[in-house]
């Protein structure tokens, strides 16, 4: 990468206890920032102490929502080294999302080298305990100050790091999911397949109302309210008697890295994994025939999250007697085994820091 300036903090923070990590509450000592200006390209790559930004109040991110982020993790390996999990997947998704939002994304090498250097500098923050990891949050925002709806000519790419524990307080226990029939996360032709900040703003109301009713997350449906899309901030898999189904990517669903990983693991194991449309009605019918075995969500934050209950305004079904299903457990063990270097990385998903 063009000369990366590094300014180390003179006030390193104390490390939080691993039992008190939670998710996204603590941030490391440093952050990466790179600027972009149309006509000039990317410039001024810096690693600096974690700090506030100065931003023009007219910056396009604040008015027209030009904001796109990623979520990935670094894991402490058995030999004490640190590895990123499939970082190229995240670059690829960010770069496609940036194009959809008329934003700029740093080239792949700049993205990967910048993140690796940052994680190396803050390496002491990568937790050692299984179940914990260093969450990496690359973000791009439009920083040009102007009013008027058009793509900005200036962007800031920044990366912050957060040591994290379990995403759900329930841990690997099954979660209760509210079937959301009113609010929609994303519509055809919109931004659903990108990690645009706007999608998360659109999701808050439904999640808040579901929490009030005692549910952890919502099951998002498509615009006809018939087909299943995602569960909260996770992709979703249903295990039926004869096949395993995850909704096909249709432009409204976010293509998850863990979704892709789980599909590849299931295929390699010769299991019948199918990407297709899946209706609520089909799930209910299979359940009433005893042919719905288990269901789980997949995402970087929670890895695998078993679903114990699906409830809508008119019906409810329970799965797995309050316990994680055997396939969910197997996938969790395989995936986390690879991530922490406990099992062979036969798929070459780990990117070790040099
Ligand atoms: C809406 C949504 N769906 C699915 C996922 C899962 O994606 P990944 O497996 O890349 O973490 C996420 C992010 O975690 C998300 O925000």
Model confidence pLDDT, tens digit, residues 128-149: 988 899 999 999 999 999 999 9
User: Is the Cβ atom of 297 under 6 angstroms away from ligand 1?
Assistant: no
* 8 A C-beta contact, residue 98 and residue 107: no
Paired tokens of 236: 């979703």
User: Is the Cβ atom of 235 under 6 angstroms away from ligand 1?
Assistant: yes
CATH 3.30.470.10 positions along the chain are: 5-165
pTM: 0.97
CATH 3.20.10.10 positions along the chain are: 175-339
Work out the angle between the directed axes of helices 257-268 and 326-339 (0-180°, nearest 10). Answer: 110
106: three-class secondary structure by DSSP: coil
Look at residue 321 in the predicted model and tell me its pLDDT: 85
For ligand 1, atom 14, the nearest C-alpha belongs to: 299
Look at residue 320 in the predicted model and tell me its pLDDT: 87
Examine the pLDDT at 60 and tell me if it is beyond 80. Answer: yes
Residue 157: other Cβ atoms inside 10 A:
25
The phi-psi region of residue 292 (left if phi > 0; otherwise alpha if psi is between -120 and 50; otherwise beta) is beta
Q: Does domain 175-339 have CATH number 3.40.640.10?
A: no
**Of 304, 307, 239, 311, residue with least CA distance to 278:** 239
Look at residue 169 in the predicted model and tell me its pLDDT: 59
Residue from 231, 256, 336 whose mutation best tests the ligand 1 pocket (most atoms within 8 A of CB): 256
User: Is the Cβ atom of 154 under 6 angstroms away from ligand 1?
Assistant: no
Q: In the chain, which ranges are E strands? A: 5-6, 30-37, 41-49, 67-69, 72-76, 82-85, 133-142, 154-164, 175-179, 217-221, 228-231, 235-240, 244-247, 273-276, 292-299, 303-311, 316-318, 350-352
Model confidence pLDDT, tens digit, residues 201-260: 999 999 999 999 999 999 999 999 999 999 999 999 999 999 999 999 999 999 999 999
Examine the pLDDT at 310 and tell me if it is beyond 80. Answer: yes
Q: Which atom of ligand 1 is nearest to the CA of 232?
A: 1
- CATH number of the domain located at residue range(s) 5-165 in this protein: 3.30.470.10
**Of 198, 258, 158, 257, residue with least CA distance to 61:** 198
Structure-model confidence comparison of residues 26 and 172, the more confident one: 26
Look at residue 167 in the predicted model and tell me its pLDDT: 67
For ligand 1, atom 5, the nearest C-alpha belongs to: 234
CA distance 27 to 9: 13
User: Is the Cβ atom of 259 under 6 angstroms away from ligand 1?
Assistant: yes
User: Is the Cβ atom of 97 under 6 angstroms away from ligand 1?
Assistant: no
**Of 239, 275, 276, 277, residue with least CA distance to 260:** 275
Residue 183 burial by CB count (10 A; 0-12/13-18/19+): exposed, middle or buried?
A: middle
Model confidence pLDDT, tens digit, residues 166-199: 766 556 889 999 999 999 999 999 999 999 999 9
Q: Which atom of ligand 1 is nearest to the CA of 195?
A: 16
């Amino acid at each position: 990468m063009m000369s990366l300036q590094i300014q180390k903090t003179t006030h390193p923070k104390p490390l939080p206890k691993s039992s008190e990590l939670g998710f996204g509450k603590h941030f490391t000592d440093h952050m990466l920032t790179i600027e972009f200006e149309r006509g000039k390209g990317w410039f001024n790559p810096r690693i600096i102490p974690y700090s506030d930004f100065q931003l023009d109040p007219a910056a396009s991110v604040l008015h027209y929502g030009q904001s796109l982020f990623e979520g990935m993790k670094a894991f402490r390996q058995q030999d004490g080294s640190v590895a990123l999990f499939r970082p190229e997947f995240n670059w690829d998704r960010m770069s496609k999302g940036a194009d959809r939002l008329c934003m700029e994304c740093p080239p792949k090498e700049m993205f990967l080298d910048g993140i690796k250097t940052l994680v190396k500098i803050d390496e002491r923050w990568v937790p050692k305990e299984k179940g914990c990891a260093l969450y990496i949050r690359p973000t791009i925002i439009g920083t040009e100050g102007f009013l008027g709806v058009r793509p900005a000519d200036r962007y800031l790419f920044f990366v912050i790091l957060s040591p994290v524990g379990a995403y759900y307080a329930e841990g690997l226990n099954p979660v209760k999911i509210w079937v959301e029939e009113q609010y929609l996360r994303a519509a055809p032709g919109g931004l659903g397949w990108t990690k645009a900040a706007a999608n998360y703003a659109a999701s808050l109301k439904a999640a808040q109302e579901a929490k009030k009713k005692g549910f952890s997350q919502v099951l998002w449906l498509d615009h006809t309210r018939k087909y299943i899309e995602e569960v909260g901030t996770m992709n979703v898999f249903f295990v039926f008697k004869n096949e395993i189904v995850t909704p096909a990517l249709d432009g409204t669903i976010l293509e998850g890295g863990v979704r892709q990983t789980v599909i590849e693991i299931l295929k390699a194991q010769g299991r019948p994994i199918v990407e297709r449309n899946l209706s609520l009605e089909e799930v209910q019918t299979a359940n009433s025939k005893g042919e719905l075995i288990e269901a789980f969500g997949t995402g970087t934050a929670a890895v695998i999250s078993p679903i114990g209950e699906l409830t809508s305004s008119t019906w409810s079904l329970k799965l797995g007697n309050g316990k994680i299903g055997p396939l969910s457990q197997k996938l969790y063990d395989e995936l986390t085994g690879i991530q922490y270097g406990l099992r062979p990385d036969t798929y070459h998903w780990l990117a070790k820091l040099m």
